[in-house]
């Protein structure tokens, strides 16, 4: 659990809360580290920094974001420009073993807090 989320909740409720006292919907994803922790995962999130921070916090070590994947394979994104040296030949790219969709439920209703994050695996 991210200590910042426990602090946010403690501040909101006005009582002390330790990180180990909070379980979020995404906490269950930590169990998947045993299976996917060292495998290459594609983390899909609105912000790449959030994807890396969250997944690395769980213990995943080979994290690729959509922006990184796009830079490696610019042919998939013809309307964006990437540095020419960022491209990786397909035969040298390791395959993606799992795709994790990181989203904040209810963003259309204004929810933007990372403490409300939901993690899904594809």
Residue at 50 is within a domain: yes
pTM of the predicted model over 0.85: no
Share the mean pLDDT of the chain. 78
| pLDDT bracket for residue 111 (50, 70, 90) | very low
| C-alpha span between 27 and 20 (Å, rounded) | 11
- Tell me what pLDDT residue 116 has: 43
Residue at 18 is within a domain: no
Residue at 6 is within a domain: no
Domain count, the chain: 1
- DSSP code per residue over the chain: --HHHHHHHHHHHTS---GGG---GGGGGGGGHHHHTTSEEEEE-SSHHHHHHHHHHHT--EEEEHHHHHHH-GGG-TTS---GGG---GGGSPPP-EEEEEE-TTGGGT---GGG-EEEE-
- Tell me what pLDDT residue 106 has: 52
Residue at 35 is within a domain: yes
Closest by CA to 100, choosing from 36, 43, 16, is 43
Q: Is the pLDDT of residue 109 over 70?
A: no
| C-alpha span between 114 and 3 (Å, rounded) | 12
Residue at 19 is within a domain: no
Residue at 63 is within a domain: yes
For 71-108, how does the pLDDT look when each residue is reduced to its tens digit (9 = 90+)?
888 888 888 887 777 777 777 788 899 998 887 555 43
Share of the chain above pLDDT 90, in %: 16
Residue at 15 is within a domain: no
- Structural domain range at position 109: 24-121
Residue at 74 is within a domain: yes
């Amino acid at each position: 659990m991210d200590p910042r989320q426990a602090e946010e909740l403690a501040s909101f409720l006005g009582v002390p809360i330790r990180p180990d006292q909070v379980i979020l919907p995404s906490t269950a994803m930590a169990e998947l580290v045993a299976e996917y922790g060292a495998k290459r995962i594609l983390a899909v999130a609105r912000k790449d920094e959030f994807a890396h921070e969250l997944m690395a916090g769980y213990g995943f070590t080979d994290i690729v974001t959509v922006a990184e994947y796009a830079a490696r394979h610019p042919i998939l994104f013809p309307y964006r420009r990437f540095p020419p040296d960022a491209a990786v030949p397909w035969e040298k790219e390791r395959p993606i073993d799992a795709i994790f969709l990181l989203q904040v439920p209810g963003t259309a209703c204004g929810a933007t807090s990372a403490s409300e994050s939901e993690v899904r695996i594809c």
